[in-house]
Amino acid sequence: MTTTAQPLIRDHASAGAAPRRSGRDTLRNALIITRREVRDSFRDWRILVPIVVLTFMFPFLAQFVAAQFADFVSDYGAQIIGERTIPFLLMIVGFFPISISLVIALETFVGEKERRSLEPLLSTPLTNTELYIGKTLAAMIPPLVSSYGGMLVYLGSLLFGELAWRPQPMLIAQIMLLTSVQALVMVAGAVVVSSQTTSTRAANLLASFIIIPMSLVIQGESFIMFIAPDAESPSGIGALWAIIAGMLVVVILLLRVGNSVFNREELLGRTIDQLNLRAALVAIWRATRAIDERGTPARSVFEWYRRGVTLSVRRLGMASWVTLFVFVVAFGGGLLLAQLPQWQLPLPRAADFATPARLLGRYIGVDAALQTDSRGHLLLDNRALPSRVDALLFFVTTNGRILLAATLLAIFSFGVAALIMTPAVYIVLGYLLGQVLIAGYNPSFMLAAILPHGVVEIPVIVLATAAGLRLGAVVTRVPEGKTVGDAWTLALGDTLKIACGLVLPGLIFAGFLESFLTPYVLYSVLS
């Protein structure tokens, strides 16, 4: 056999070196899929009948209900309730048809998989992205057409009917936008769900993960519309914009996850219908012991540290820089916040550092003089204070708990939680430093209180946050040639390596410094 072909699997990073298609080509190819799917949807009476009913009949029912309700509540002098039901029903008229998008999306993705009609499509030159865009559009177009149609019918009946409603154009625009992003969230979520299952039954069961949060959002939106449905209410219409913006972020993240999981490998090679816990644990253990890209296990703790842990830190890549940037922004934001007059604390111009210095001195055992204040009250009772070892445990467990919670929440929030929870403390630090500077104090006492242990603690926290961010965000951008499961397992292995190899020892060391060194440094600065 001739062996002119070059080995190719060694380097997955170079996979997909084929010439890239332009955005226009991608869209053109995606629309081939969309056109077929939409035609197919409109051939299915089970989809067509609800769409027709929800577009042309439900709006009239809603208009009737709105009119009756307005009449009813006005008899009791509560016209405002009737008036505010109208935009709420407009949203409902728009939402009911888009709820079908979930059904179509589940059918389009997992239904095709179940009927085995997906594999011929996967055998064509279409890229994963083209297939994904084509199918996502196909799942959205019929319900959105129906939704907009229904809303127009309802609006028409309100504008020209007996209610003669005159809504604010901005509110209508918001409801239209809300409807669109809700459809996008549901479809994007459905793709993620259905790409991991092999049956519509399993997909329908998992769809509750989309329906439950979505119904909570709808309830929130309804509440906002009832309390403040006009553009003059900053807490009302502004809140709707915030919901639209928040949902757009969710859409972007879900679309990224969807694009990652909607690939041939995931669709044909993976299923979570049967969870192989043992294999998953073995894979995580392997990733945690690995010292190189091939997953070679470490032969000693020294090798694990020298090669495995450093490899995991290197793999954090962009996550480290993003985390560092967010920490700097958080600290800077706190400093800026302190400049705002309404946020400034009424600190005295001349601060008395002598008392805290003596209290601290007493605690660390270098100042035995202070026992009571001028009125004879005991100022510092060492018996009521934690020992230095207790303090160490307290610092380690507090920091550890925050980092653990941030990492766990990051898994379910595409890494966002890690970037909110841990840097929040640094907003406070920046704010306090700002206050100290504005009050004209010498900031050296703050630096003395933070830096001795902070030089260890802060890098460790940044590192842990970056690992949490990567663990959560890896599903939105899976490295070429890897499945979502592989990429996540690898990220979890790296997180465990960083946690055990650097974060935990770092927190213990920082806690030791904070308990045994920082008080001395602070005491010397204060006194």
Partner 1 sequence: MIEAQGLTKDFDGFRAVDTVSLDIPAGEVLALLGPNGAGKTTTVRMLTSILVPTAGWARVAGCDVVRQAAQVRALVGVLTEQHGLYERMKGLEYLDFFGEIYHLAPALRRKRALDLLERFGLINALDKRLGEYSKGMKQKLALVRAMLHDPPVLLLDEPTSAMDPQSAKQVRDAIIELEGEGRTFLLTTHNLTEAQQLADKIAVIRHGRIIAQGSFAELAQRFVGAPLMELHINGTVNGLRKDLADVVQIEDCGADWLRYRASDPARSNPALLRRLHMLGVEVVTLALVPRTLEDVYLQIVKEDEAQQGAQDS
Chain residues in the site for partner 1 (CB under 8 A): 1-3, 5-9, 12, 14-18, 29, 32, 36, 40, 43-44, 115-127, 264-265, 268-270, 276, 279-280, 282-283, 481, 485
Q: Which single residue is written with the structure tokens 């993240």?
A: 253
Minimum separation from the CB atom of position 195 to partner 1 (A): 15
Minimum separation from the CB atom of position 290 to partner 1 (A): 15
Q: Output the six-digit token pair for 523.
A: 């005491």
Nearer to partner 1, 274 or 342 (CB): 274
CB count within 10 Å of CB 521 equals 17
Nearer to partner 1, 15 or 379 (CB): 15
Contacts of 448 (CB under 8 A, 6+ apart): 518, 521, 522, 524, 525, 526
Minimum separation from the CB atom of position 408 to partner 1 (A): 24
In terms of Cα–Cα distance, which of 490, 500, 512 is closest to 463? 500
How many residues does this entry show for the chain?
527
Minimum separation from the CB atom of position 168 to partner 1 (A): 44
Secondary structure (DSSP) of 324-350: HHHHHHHHHHHHHHHHSGGG-----SS
Beta carbons of 240 and 221 less than 8 angstroms apart: yes
Minimum separation from the CB atom of position 262 to partner 1 (A): 13
Nearer to partner 1, 40 or 373 (CB): 40
Beta carbons of 261 and 195 less than 8 angstroms apart: yes
Nearer to partner 1, 9 or 350 (CB): 9
Q: Output the six-digit token pair for 330.
A: 């958080």
Minimum separation from the CB atom of position 299 to partner 1 (A): 22
Q: Output the six-digit token pair for 209.
A: 């993960």
Minimum separation from the CB atom of position 398 to partner 1 (A): 38
Secondary structure (DSSP) of 264-289: HHHHHH--SSS--HHHHHHHHHHHHH
Nearer to partner 1, 78 or 281 (CB): 281
Minimum separation from the CB atom of position 179 to partner 1 (A): 28
Minimum separation from the CB atom of position 1 to partner 1 (A): 4
Nearer to partner 1, 256 or 264 (CB): 264
Nearer to partner 1, 83 or 265 (CB): 265
Nearer to partner 1, 43 or 349 (CB): 43
CB count within 10 Å of CB 279 equals 9
Q: Is residue 49 exposed (0-12), middle (13-18) or buried (19+ Cβ within 10 Å)?
A: exposed
Secondary structure (DSSP) of 410-430: HHHTTTHHHHHHHHHHHHHHH
**What is the Cα–Cα distance from 476 to 415, expressed in whole angstroms?**
10
**What is the Cα–Cα distance from 157 to 63, expressed in whole angstroms?**
7
Q: Output the six-digit token pair for 404.
A: 């653990």
Nearer to partner 1, 167 or 481 (CB): 481
CA quadruple 331, 335, 338, 339: dihedral, nearest 10: -150
Nearer to partner 1, 26 or 74 (CB): 26
Nearer to partner 1, 121 or 211 (CB): 121
Minimum separation from the CB atom of position 10 to partner 1 (A): 9
Secondary structure (DSSP) of 447-499: HHHHHHHHHHHHHHHHHHHHHHHHHHHGGGSPPTT--HHHHHHHHHHHHHHHI
CB count within 10 Å of CB 273 equals 12
Minimum separation from the CB atom of position 266 to partner 1 (A): 10
**What is the Cα–Cα distance from 134 to 129, expressed in whole angstroms?**
8
